[in-house]
Structure 1
């Protein structure tokens, strides 16, 4: 099973499937869904998806902010976790950001994902904070 990563277009069928995957993993456990406004704002962001054959199995959103990129809404299908797909997606997203002249990539990592980001070379910035009722830590990785 080889995973391929690529940018997908906002409002495309692939994007719709990516949103469903993110919503299932990130929002449904919290009893919420993405708002129309949140999804409309994504037209200004880069949509990244990982595929096995034609099925989306991983996704992330990159938000350009001057010379840095915020990575958010990062998910891998539950049944495929632990197979290095998330780390492969990090490499793709980091190269994508560097290719667009970003000097830094950062995220707000859920407490449960902090060790994943550390394993991938990210470092914490500051203290934990509450976002959506979940402890998060701002984490960064400098472009090199």
Structure 2
């Protein structure tokens, strides 16, 4: 049994710590990216999914996995940065704030890791969401997996 479920109904965002949580995170990605958006399965999964330096997140609403994201360390403009990827929330939970909670969790981990900024490739339809969280568009539109994206970034620092 996964450690978060042992406590009873779970509500919040956690770092993936078990195979069960990992499977739940991947199921969410499949539902959102492969089933809803038509991303080819072979493009959805990559070597970063098994990289031990990558942090995967899972969001639970009352014990049900509803969202996921991953954060991987990169070098950006000569500084250590975090790249947020694979942010996905199930359609039934999209208006419940889980995207924001996943991003806050990723930012907190990135700060703890000493990163100075977060970078992401956001789908253009989600640009306003990321802008509300303080991200700035730094590229023209480009296509990934047949979907329009933009590169966005945000400086981050530990609160004093």
> How big is each residue's C-alpha offset from its partner over 1:43-79, in whole Å with a ceiling of 9 and x where there is no partner?
2211011112332111001111141011010011111
What is the TM-score normalised by the length of structure 2?
A: 0.80
1:1-144 correspondence runs (5 A): 3-9=11-17, 12-28=19-35, 29-30=37-38, 32-34=40-42, 38=46, 40-44=47-51, 45-66=54-75, 67-144=80-157
- 1:3, 1:85 within 8 Å by CA — same for their partners in 2? no
**Whole-Å Cα distance in 2 between the matches of residues 14 and 22 of structure 1?**
13
SS in 1 for 2:115: coil
CA distance in 2 between counterparts of 1:83 and 1:37 reads: 26
- Cα offset for 1:9? 3.6
Question: TM-score, structure 1 length as denominator?
Answer: 0.88
RMSD over aligned Cα, in angstroms? Answer: 2.1
Residue correspondences, number: 142
Structure 2: 5+ residue stretches without partners = 1-8
CA drift of 1:120 comes to 1.1
Rounded Cα–Cα distance in structure 2 between residues aligned with 1:36 and 1:72: 11
**CA displacement at 1:34 relative to structure 2:** 4.3
Pair 139,13 (structure 1): closer, same or farther in 2 beyond 3 Å: same
Larger Rg computed on CA atoms: 2
The answer to whether the Cα contact below 8 Å between 2:119 and 2:151 also exists between their aligned partners in 1 is: yes
What stretches of structure 1 of length at least 5 have no aligned partner?
Answer: none
Compare the two structures and name the one with the higher strand fraction. 1
